[in-house]
């Protein structure tokens, strides 16, 4: 459970979920603790060197690192790298390569993420099976979500607007009345 001495907190949205990274730093003892979603993933007590880097795994992104830098006297600056990029560059890259929707499915929020470069679809942190097909005005990526037939439709491609992605959520599937008994 995160302690009250966190000096930095970041929320990182990945395909497999949103992760909260908290970092605690004892500036007199050198203690370093990294929490991911409330679970301690790194603890180092009584470190002589007060600056440096702590690396750890972070969901679908793989590698992440907290950097500790002295900025004069006993002041420190903390930054987070995700997937080998600064957090801001990582967020900017994700904005170009993914599309995220939060939709209500049977009364519950569902987070759907499309990875545009691979056309992988994630629902609430789980990669789902999809089928893709070309249609007259673009492509359709189909999958099932909680008994609902879903489709991500990609249309456009003109330089001005680029490719537009839309999530279509169908009604719940009717049970098959013709099953063999």
pLDDT in tens, 117-129: 999 999 999 999 9
Could you tell me if 70 and 62 are in contact, meaning their C-beta atoms sit under 8 angstroms apart?
Answer: no
Task: Report the 10 Å Cβ neighbour count for 174.
Answer: 7
For strands 76-82 and 126-128, give the pairing: unpaired
What confidence category does residue 173 fall into, taking pLDDT thresholds of 50, 70 and 90?
low
Domains of the chain (ranges, CATH numbers): 6-83 (2.40.128.180), 98-172 (2.40.128.180)
Cα–Cα distance, 141 to 130 (Å, whole number)? 6
Inter-residue contact 60 to 113 (CB < 8 Å): no
pLDDT digit string (tens) for 100-151?
A: 999 998 889 999 999 999 999 999 999 999 999 999 888 999 999 988 999 9
For 87, the enclosing helix (H) or strand (E) is helix 87-97
Dihedral, 83, 87, 92, 97 alpha carbons, nearest 10: 30
């Amino acid at each position: 459970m995160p302690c009250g001495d966190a000096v930095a907190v970041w929320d990182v949205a990945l395909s497999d979920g949103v992760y909260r990274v908290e970092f605690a730093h004892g500036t007199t003892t050198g203690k370093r603790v990294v929490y991911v979603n409330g679970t301690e993933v790194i603890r180092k007590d009584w470190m002589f060197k007060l600056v440096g880097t702590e690396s750890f795994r972070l969901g679908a992104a793989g590698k992440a690192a907290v950097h500790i830098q002295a900025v004069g006297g006993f002041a420190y600056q903390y930054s987070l790298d995700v997937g080998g990029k600064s957090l801001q560059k990582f967020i900017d890259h994700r904005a170009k390569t993914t599309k995220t929707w939060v939709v209500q499915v049977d009364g519950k929020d569902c987070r759907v993420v499309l990875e545009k470069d691979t056309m992988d679809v994630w629902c609430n942190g789980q990669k789902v099976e999809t089928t893709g097909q070309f249609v007259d005005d673009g492509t359709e990526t189909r999958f099932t979500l909680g008994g609902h037939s879903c489709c991500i439709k990609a249309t456009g491609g003109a330089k001005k607007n680029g490719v537009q992605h839309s999530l279509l959520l169908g009604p719940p599937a009717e049970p098959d009345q013709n099953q063999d008994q």
